[in-house]
Amino acid sequence: MEVTVRIPTPLRTLTGGEEAVKASGETVRQVIEQLEKNHPGMRDRLMDEKGVRRFVNIYVGDEDIRFLDGLETKLKGGEELSIVPAIAGG
Amino acid sequence: MGAGGLGCPAAIALADAGLERLVLADDDCVEESNLHRQILFDDDDVGRDKLEAAEQRLYERGAFPGSVELVRTRFLPDNARLLARSVDVVVEGSDNFATKFLAADACHLERTPVVHGAAVRWTATIWAVAAEGAPCYRCLFEDVPQGDAPNCAEAGVFGPVVGLAGALMADLALRVLSGGAPFGALFSYSGKTDALRAVEVAPRADCALCSARARIGEIDELRYTAPSCSA
């Protein structure tokens, strides 16, 4: 199940500047694991021992995975995953 | 809140809209590193009190006579509720997480709508929270990040992106005042692709601030500790 993952600016240092990358997985968790393989360090920026970090939101399309099945949210392929971290600055 | 990169364009847009009362809160002086994005100031203002310079510039632009009020302080635990209570809508353009969460809590407790804005490098996020509060900032980002969240001091801020975010904050604030604000829609803007995206944020069932199981009923300064941006 290949999906497109939109990478927020603060995490693009891990993707060589790419703002969108492809990744595969049947669930959001599996996609994050593949992101970690391709872009080491990504998992720790998104997750801690409790799950998705509390200042990070992950969307499948327009749906926040918190209101789906969290990290076990199933993917059909072709979706767009958006990572929205809290940012402060201005 | 904050006469910085977000607050300057927001203040211009709000003053130019003819508001009869515009309260600016800040306690900084203008620094040279501010000038690329804090568009109320120029070279001659470096070292000046930000509020004084901002007030002068807004009146020069035609702000409604007597409309600009200056509050020479940061949003702090001991004044946050009073400041939130004193206005019809808060435009929160602070540069650090502690103040964002403090503003969110104070506005919710005082039932004052708030427009939050933030920008780091090429990305900006903007969203409005209604007086009744749900979804609120804590529905989106539960608590003050510690240590490893991105901040503008490390990542930098790109002037045009901040300017656009400030203008969008003013747009949302005016829509709050006039009715019809898109509460709950989180807007994200990318200065690299010029894409403005909106996602709907739902209230968090266990939100510490706005849910039926809310635990925050007052401002406790221990809840707000995070470094601020020095850029």
Could you tell me the pLDDT band of residue B148, with boundaries at 50, 70 and 90? low
Residue of A9, A12, A83 best to disrupt the B interface, most CBs of B under 10 A: A9
| pLDDT tens digits along A58-79 | 989 878 898 789 999 999 999 9
Cross-chain residue pair B149–A84, CB shorter than 8 Å: no
Could you tell me the pLDDT band of residue B149, with boundaries at 50, 70 and 90? low
Closest Cα in chain A, distance from residue B9 (Å): 11
Q: Closest Cα to residue B24, out of B46, B6, B43, B42?
A: B6
Residue of B nearest to A10 (CA): B150
Q: Which residue has the higher pLDDT, B19 or B227?
A: B19
Cross-chain residue pair B141–A8, CB shorter than 8 Å: no
Residue A50 pLDDT: 84
Residue B155 pLDDT: 62
For chain A, domains (ranges, CATH) are: 2-85 (3.10.20.30)
Residue A61 pLDDT: 87
At position B158, the amino acid (one-letter code) is F
Q: Assess whether pLDDT exceeds 50 at residue B230.
A: no
Which residues 43-72 of A have a C-beta within 8 angstroms of B? 45, 53-55, 57, 59, 62, 64, 66-67
At B60, which helix (H) or strand (E)? helix B50-60
Could you tell me the pLDDT band of residue B19, with boundaries at 50, 70 and 90? very high
Could you tell me the pLDDT band of residue B226, with boundaries at 50, 70 and 90? low
Residue of A nearest to B152 (CA): A89
Locate B115 and state its tokens: 């427009």
For the ranges B30-34, B126-130, B149-153, B172-176, the lowest mean pLDDT is seen at B149-153
Which one of the listed residues B152, B207, B210, B229 is annotated catalytic? B152
Which residues 6-25 of A have a C-beta within 8 angstroms of B? 8-10, 19
The CATH label, of 3.40.50.2000, 3.40.50.720, 3.30.9.10, 1.20.1560.10, for the domain at B7-217 is 3.40.50.720
Cross-chain residue pair A89–B122, CB shorter than 8 Å: no
Give the span between the Cα atoms of B63 and B49, in whole angstroms.
19
Residue of B201, B228, B230 best to disrupt the A interface, most CBs of A under 10 A: B201
Give the span between the Cα atoms of B182 and B43, in whole angstroms.
38
Cross-chain residue pair A54–B94, CB shorter than 8 Å: no
Q: Assess whether pLDDT exceeds 90 at residue A49.
A: no
**B164: which DSSP letter?**
H
| pLDDT tens digits along B113-122 | 999 999 988 8
Mean pLDDT for chain B overall? 91
* Residue B72 CA neighbour count, 13 Å, CB half: 8
First to last CA, chain A: 38
B48: helix, strand or coil: coil
DSSP assignments along A19-88, one per residue: SEEEEE-SBHHHHHHHHHHHSTTHHHHHEETTEE-TTEEEEETTEEGGGTTGGG-B--SS-EEEEEE--B
B229 is catalytic: no
Cross-chain residue pair A89–B157, CB shorter than 8 Å: yes
Nearest to B97 among A9, A57, A88 (CB): A88
Q: Is the ipTM reported for this complex over the cut 0.85?
A: no
Domain boundaries, chain B: 7-217
Q: Radius of gyration over alpha carbons of chain A, in Å?
A: 12
Q: Assess whether pLDDT exceeds 70 at residue B21.
A: yes
Q: Closest Cα to residue B155, out of A8, A68, A79?
A: A8
Q: For residue A59, which residues of chain B lie inside 8 Å, CB to CB?
A: 199
Q: For residue B97, which residues of chain A lie inside 8 Å, CB to CB?
A: 55, 86, 88
Q: For residue A62, which residues of chain B lie inside 8 Å, CB to CB?
A: 199-200
Cross-chain residue pair B150–A59, CB shorter than 8 Å: no
Cross-chain residue pair A10–B199, CB shorter than 8 Å: no
Q: Give me the residue label for tokens 């509020």.
A: B51
